[in-house]
Amino acid sequence: MDPVVKRFAPSDLPARADVLIIGGGITGASAARDAALRGLSTVLVERDDFASGTSSRSSKLIHGGLRYLQTYQFRMVHESVHEREVMMRIAPHLADLRPFLYLLYRGYPEGKALLNLGLTFYDAFSRAPLRRWHRMLGRDAVLRREPHLNPDGLTGGGLYHDAMTDDARLVIDVLESAWRAGALLANHSEATGLVHERGRVAGAEVTDRITGEQTVIRARTVVNAAGPWVDRVLGLERPVTQPTLRPTKGVHLVLRTEDFPLQTAVFLRSPSDNRVVWPTPTADGRHVYIGTTDTDFHGSPSDVVADDRDIDYLLEVANHTLPDANVGPEHVVATWAGLRPIVAPTPGTSNSDASREHTITEGPTGLITVAGGKLTTARIMGRQIVEHAIEQLRRDHGIRSVPTSTTGTVPIAGGDPADRFRAERAVATAPGDLAQRWLRRYGGNAGRVAAAGTHERIAGTDLTDAEIRYAVDHEMAMTVADVLVRRTGSFFWSADGDAAAIDRVSDVLAEGRRYPDDVRKAQQADYKDWVARNRGRRTSP
């Protein structure tokens, strides 16, 4: 069953790490993996759970961003489709290639010729094999493929390919890869202050939010990869007079396929504001999730949920896409909401037109801050962050020889073909569809999941004891939400968030973490509240 990923204890820390990363989303995880693979001593801390912010609340796509061609962001699209191909090689279990339909209706700003040109660029940038190049479809061909689509004004569409992913699982597997390469990791550990020596940042004061223990982590270079919290961490270095970010809220809602019979992911425009939106069937075909909104957000990054306006907007999209479905609030299985940590654009720029490019800056005391970016290009962001850190290490600490990045060729945890082969044999006797579900979620680690516990489903859920024990014993899950939101994804696809599994999760956590009863009850209450707030039970004021 080894290796077992463990949170570090203060006694595990080196006297001074090369790199300390603050933030355990996909950006921080990618930087930690890159740094550790280059042989740099690396520590990563995350104030909540890994992927608990934007990186578990995205549209769950590894894609080139076809819509960004409309705003002439050619470099980003080129980079993104290239990264999609890289991820299909190093994380094949989490880069599930699927057909997508970009629909055309009368009155759309893009016609068939322009869409065909855009998709040609898209295919050429990716250097994908010709069998995956797009095809333009007429109206009748589109309706034969998806007969329930709105026929009114439909003129055709373009059929092309992009990849779906489980965003939180991607973060967990990237972090496991960083750990295997030597990185030390701690979730629920908040950087509450920075340590300075001779006017330069030299580490951070960290508080363990589970135990209350306080630690000083000393490091030669410190990276702020805190996503929507980036300005909060910047404030530990200096007063922030001009926000780095203009975060926008993106909401998705989930419907059952039996209520919303769509088999192919489609891109079309919202009838209310002409924004590009995308209803997307899940890999198992049981649900369709519809996203996304794009509205300015001014509250706490820790409290982001869908409100009535968000749900009404997406239901309007749903009923415009499949008019005969006639779905309403009673059909909504779940919602989720996250923040895009968009670098503050020029005043007057619309949210949809704001660039998803990232920036890497260095503050007056040496704090390296990364802002912006997107899930698909996180590996490149991680490489660039580490390259900036290496330059700082050379300049300030005389470090000379550091290997080049290997993150584009080394598989992430679960992505090695040899591990996959062994896992397929290990799970072959699992009952029902468990084997395929585990292989899809865990890849080459599926055999370790199967060996972690029993395989009987917990009544009322699709979960097994094996998955719960694997999350706690091998993936650093510390709370009920860690297990049911980020490790297993139950929260997203069940109306009650798989409430029937809460007691079992609490039992395993109490056994493995020695939590007292009051902690157990508090964690259960926190998870139930989180589910309720993301099921439309709290409306906007």
* Mean pLDDT, rounded, of the chain: 93
Q: What CATH number matches the domain at 452-533, 3.50.50.60, 1.10.8.870, 3.10.440.10, 1.10.10.10?
A: 1.10.8.870
DSSP string, 185-242: EESSEEEEEEEEETTEEEEEEEEETTT--EEEEEEEEEEE--GGGHHHHHTTTS--SS
pLDDT of residue 538: 41
Going by pLDDT thresholds of 50, 70 and 90, the confidence category of residue 354 is: low
- Token reading at 256: 């059952």
Least confident of 232-236, 294-298, 388-392: 294-298
Backbone angles phi, psi at 161, to 5 degrees: -125, 140
pLDDT of residue 66: 76
The mean pLDDT value for 168-193 works out to: 98
pLDDT of residue 88: 95
| Alpha-carbon span 344 to 246, nearest angstrom | 5
Does the domain at residues 10-54+168-244+354-397 carry the CATH identifier 3.65.10.10?
Answer: no
- Token reading at 208: 């363990």
Going by pLDDT thresholds of 50, 70 and 90, the confidence category of residue 127 is: confident
The answer, yes or no, to whether the previous bond of 292 is cis (omega within 30 of 0) is: yes
Nearest to 119 by CA among 100, 133, 130: 133
pLDDT of residue 2: 60
Residue type, 492: F
pLDDT of residue 227: 95
- Token reading at 6: 């463990």
pLDDT of residue 356: 65
Q: What does pTM read for this prediction?
A: 0.95
Please write the tens of the pLDDT for every residue from 258-292: 999 999 999 999 999 999 999 999 999 999 999 99
Q: Does position 25 have pLDDT exceeding 60, yes or no? A: yes
pLDDT of residue 1: 53
Q: Does position 20 have pLDDT exceeding 70, yes or no? A: yes
pLDDT of residue 431: 86
214-224/200-208 β-pairing: antiparallel
Give the CATH fold of the 97-165+246-340 domain.
D-Amino Acid Oxidase; Chain A, domain 2 (3.30.9)
Compute the radius of gyration of the chain from its Cα atoms.
23
pLDDT of residue 350: 54
Going by pLDDT thresholds of 50, 70 and 90, the confidence category of residue 540 is: very low
| Alpha-carbon span 452 to 467, nearest angstrom | 7
pLDDT of residue 3: 63
- Please say whether the beta carbons of 306 and 334 come within 8 A: no
**In the chain, where the domains are located:** 10-54+168-244+354-397, 97-165+246-340, 452-533
